[in-house]
């Protein structure tokens, strides 16, 4: 488990610095597939190929490309490959009807072309013509039973048609052909979850989560929180949610926010508050296991402060952020310093991510974050001075907690 955790942490930290991947595209297991099938909620028509998202330059390029493709079709009217390329071009600019027509002509020219069927099936899926898509994809599978994407797409279509069993079957076949296919695992896990097979679902979900599917990470976190199919472990739920948040998954962020609110609630006798606080603490402790070379010297030390001391520029700030989000006051104070001063070449001062962390946790009622934020607003660190905003940031604190900050800001 710890090894797996380490791997995931490394992967996570590597990804944090990269822009988040759009979740609407499944990770392709190989690059052979000419066409990435849509896998998640938004249909392909609203991905980057959507006309509204094109710049005028790109539109021009697309028009030129389409003209070339049409030229090819005119030169070789009986060449199915040319027609499929034109169909792809048309699909990319959102002309689904024309793309379907071209695909159909290509299939007529070469009826045994499984790829043509798959392409037509995907376009029909984009049109939400599930029945037509199902029959075309079934034909594609018949022509080439080893075509993973055809099975995967057929699974999605079958589910949309309400055939859950057939959908599960299709995903299982896709996984048999291509075991390292996290999207298929995630999809299969979802369907198993919907059919009350939680244990198998969690297993597949974990595989998909480790494969980097943020939705899978979110659901895995949920499973750990509620104990569905696994032993209940709130700290692991926090871990997987945090991982999903790193991929920009908003529901996971909301789930974490909710848990933080529970941990920071004013009802000290609430069992849920105790559980949440304990879970955050356990989560922070578990972070040390990702760095077995380091061990804690005293209780006040966090992994982030240690990495900072060790000049581990690769991980220090990201770990500090994770600890701050996991309600570590030490990590927040350290981050406050970094926000103000920056860290040489590794971090510029007034980093937005750090400020967002303070704002988020302060909004959720974390006292250290509130005081830090009041200082930032009151002193105008990295922004114009705004005393009323500083005062409002301190709302909800006791006089004793407010006094040092107010003294420092000279507001008393």
Does residue number 42 form part of the binding site for other proteins (CB under 8 A)? yes
Listed residue (11, 332, 39, 34) closest to 159, CA to CA: 39
d(CA 55, CA 368): 45
DSSP string of 172-206, one letter each residue: HHHHHH-S--HHHHHHHHHHHHHTT-HHHHHHHHH
- In angstroms, give the least distance from the CB of 161 to other proteins: 8
Nearer to other proteins, 190 or 331 (CB): 190
Does residue number 14 form part of the binding site for other proteins (CB under 8 A)? no
SS3 54: coil
Does residue number 49 form part of the binding site for other proteins (CB under 8 A)? no
For helices 96-109 and 114-126, the axis angle rounded to 10 degrees is 160
Does residue number 190 form part of the binding site for other proteins (CB under 8 A)? yes
Q: Which parts of 249-278 interact with other proteins (CB under 8 A)?
A: 251, 261
d(CA 92, CA 44): 9
**Which of 1, 18, 19, 41 is in the footprint of other proteins by CB under 8 A?**
41
Nearer to other proteins, 59 or 194 (CB): 194
Q: Which parts of 206-245 interact with other proteins (CB under 8 A)?
A: 215, 219, 222, 226, 228
- In angstroms, give the least distance from the CB of 331 to other proteins: 24
- In angstroms, give the least distance from the CB of 239 to other proteins: 18
Does residue number 17 form part of the binding site for other proteins (CB under 8 A)? no
- In angstroms, give the least distance from the CB of 74 to other proteins: 36
Q: Which parts of 299-328 interact with other proteins (CB under 8 A)?
A: none
Does residue number 32 form part of the binding site for other proteins (CB under 8 A)? no
Contacts of 114 by beta carbon, 8 Å cutoff, 6+ apart: 140, 141, 143, 144, 147, 150
- In angstroms, give the least distance from the CB of 52 to other proteins: 16
Residue with tokens 């690769």: 314
Does residue number 128 form part of the binding site for other proteins (CB under 8 A)? yes
Residue with tokens 């402790």: 285
- In angstroms, give the least distance from the CB of 163 to other proteins: 9
Nearer to other proteins, 85 or 260 (CB): 260
Listed residue (333, 346, 341) closest to 305, CA to CA: 333
d(CA 219, CA 237): 9
- In angstroms, give the least distance from the CB of 193 to other proteins: 5
H or E stretch including 168? helix 164-177
Does residue number 193 form part of the binding site for other proteins (CB under 8 A)? yes
Contacts of 250 by beta carbon, 8 Å cutoff, 6+ apart: none
d(CA 198, CA 185): 14
- In angstroms, give the least distance from the CB of 363 to other proteins: 9
Q: Which parts of 351-390 interact with other proteins (CB under 8 A)?
A: none
Quote the distance between the C-alpha of residue 387 and its chain's center. Answer: 37
Residue with tokens 């909620």: 41
Per-residue binder mask for other proteins (CB under 8 A), 149-188, x = binder: -------x--xxxx-x----------------------x-
User: For residue 44, what is the DSSP state?
Assistant: G
The residue ranges that bind other proteins (CB under 8 A) are 38, 40-43, 128, 156, 159-162, 164, 187, 190-191, 193-196, 215, 219, 222, 226, 228, 251, 261
């Amino acid at each position: 488990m710890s090894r797996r955790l380490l791997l995931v942490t490394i992967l996570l930290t590597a990804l944090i610095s990269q822009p988040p991947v759009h979740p609407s595209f499944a990770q392709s297991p190989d690059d052979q597939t000419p066409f990435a099938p849509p896998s998640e909620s938004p249909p392909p028509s609203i991905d980057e190929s959507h006309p509204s998202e094109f710049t005028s330059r790109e539109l021009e390029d697309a028009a030129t490309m389409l003209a070339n493709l049409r030229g090819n079709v005119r030169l070789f009217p009986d060449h199915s490959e040319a027609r499929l390329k034109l169909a792809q071009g048309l699909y990319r600019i959102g002309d689904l009807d024309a793309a379907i027509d071209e695909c159909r002509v290509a299939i007529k020219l070469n009826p045994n072309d499984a790829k043509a069927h798959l392409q037509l099936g995907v376009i029909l899926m984009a049109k939400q013509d599930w029945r037509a898509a199902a029959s075309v994809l079934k034909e594609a599978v018949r022509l080439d039973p080893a075509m993973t994407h055809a099975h995967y797409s057929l699974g999605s279509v079958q589910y949309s048609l309400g055939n859950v069993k057939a959908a599960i079957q299709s995903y299982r076949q896709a996984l048999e052909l291509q075991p390292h296919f996290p999207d298929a695992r995630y999809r299969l896990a979802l369907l198993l979850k919907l059919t009350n097979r939680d244990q198998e679902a969690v297993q597949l979900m974990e595989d998909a989560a480790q494969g980097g599917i943020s939705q899978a990470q979110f659901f895995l976190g949920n499973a750990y929180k509620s104990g569905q199919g696994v032993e209940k472990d709130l700290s692991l739920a926090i871990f997987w949610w945090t991982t999903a948040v790193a991929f920009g998954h908003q529901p996971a962020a909301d789930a974490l926010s909710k848990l933080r609110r529970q941990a920071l609630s004013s009802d000290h006798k609430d069992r849920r508050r105790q559980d949440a606080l304990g879970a955050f603490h356990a989560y922070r402790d578990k972070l040390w296991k990702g760095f077995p070379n380091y061990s804690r010297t005293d209780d006040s030390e966090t992994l982030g402060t240690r990495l900072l001391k060790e000049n581990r520029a690769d991980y220090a700030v990201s770990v500090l952020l994770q600890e701050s989000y996991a309600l570590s006051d030490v990590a927040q104070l350290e981050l406050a310093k970094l926000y103000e001063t920056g860290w040489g070449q590794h971090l510029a001062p007034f980093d937005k991510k750090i400020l967002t962390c303070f704002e988020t946790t302060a909004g959720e009622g974390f006292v250290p974050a509130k005081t830090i934020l009041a200082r930032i607003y009151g002193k105008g660190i990295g922004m114009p001075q705004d005393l009323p905003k500083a005062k409002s940031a301190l709302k909800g604190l006791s006089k004793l907690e407010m006094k040092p900050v107010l003294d420092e800001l000279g507001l008393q």
